[in-house]
Structure 1
Amino acid sequence: MKELDYKVLRYVGALSRAINSTADTKYKEFNLQKGQYLFITRVCENPGINFIELSNMLKVDKTTTTKAVKKLIEIGYINKEQDENYKRSYKLTPTEKALEIYEKIIKEEAKQLEISFRGFSEEQKKLCTDLVEKMSKNIEDYWLDVKNK
């Protein structure tokens, strides 16, 4: 059996699962289900974003986005408004309730970053961020290609 030359994706995956699992547990008190906090943060940071942009940003399919947004509208975290310029499109904006919890989500994200970067110099933090960002950009075209087949 051939071993991988680099196991970075396994480490990134484990990191992502640990972060999401921790977050999902912490955000149950806000009536949020698995991964919904990601949708809230992106809508808070990009008010007026549409479903397609949100799906692409989070690297999920439109069905997943539609289900998550519908639930977040029902529980009072997101507003959906028809786009004045494109009648078939909707803009998503955060509610006051979303903006309040957003602050808590960002504090938790900062705590997770602090733990993840424990023992790193500032130079290493920047290099790590730059490299993972580059990997993310590199894989995006492949993701879009596979998604659109």
Structure 2
Amino acid sequence: MEDILREIGSIARSLDSISNIEFKQYELSKGQYLYLARVFENPGIILKDLCELICVDKTTGSRAINNMVKNGLLIKKTDSTNNKNQHLYVTKKGEELYPIINNENNYSSKVATIGLNSDEIKELTNLLNKVKTNVVKDWKDVKNGKKRDY
């Protein structure tokens, strides 16, 4: 079996590295562009759900969010019915960055699919969604203490 995950990992690390370099000028430190984009796309999301969405542990997510609040990119609003939940929103400063992040994503997607026709792109998207579903399920299981049998 080909080592698909090595290829996917290489693609992900390359794109993440490019984004981190390009977004440094906007004072978005490592990976923060992803948090900003997901909060923009899901206004009012709570930390737990955001962490699930991007597959990071709560400690990592909390640290990133706190830095982004400190830098004026996000704000937290406490839930009126549950004080433990803080809803996240993009500030005006953050809103101005979203189109730049989205344009970078669209450009990277275009570059990544050079030489593929529309049917191949659809098939690749469907296959990667299946792979993601499998991996995310496994991630959640392990995160919740399940041991995997190798």
Q: Please report the TM-score for the alignment, with normalisation by the length of structure 1.
A: 0.95
User: 1:61 matched to which residue of 2?
Assistant: 57
Alignment pair present for 1:35 and 2:31: yes
Partner residue of 2:76 out of 69, 73, 80: 80
Matched residues in 1 for 2:12 and 2:59: separation?
Answer: 22
Alignment pair present for 1:16 and 2:12: yes
Q: CA RMSD in A?
A: 0.7
Matched residues in 2 for 1:72 and 1:126: separation?
Answer: 35
Q: Which amino acid aligns with 1:133?
A: N
Alignment pair present for 1:110 and 2:113: no
Alignment pair present for 1:95 and 2:91: yes
User: 2:45 matched to which residue of 1?
Assistant: 49
Matched residues in 2 for 1:140 and 1:102: separation?
Answer: 26
Give runs of aligned pairs for residues 108-147 of structure 1, distance below 5 A.
108-147=104-143
Alignment pair present for 1:25 and 2:21: yes
SS in 2 for 1:97: helix
Task: Give the % identical residues.
Answer: 32
In the TM superposition, structure 1's runs of 4+ consecutive aligned residues that sit over 2 Å from their partners are none
Q: Please report the TM-score for the alignment, with normalisation by the length of structure 2.
A: 0.94
Kindly state the Cα deviation for residue 142 of structure 1 after the two structures are TM-superposed.
Answer: 1.0
SS in 2 for 1:34: coil
Kindly state the Cα deviation for residue 134 of structure 1 after the two structures are TM-superposed.
Answer: 1.1
Kindly state the Cα deviation for residue 120 of structure 1 after the two structures are TM-superposed.
Answer: 0.4
User: 2:148 matched to which residue of 1?
Assistant: none
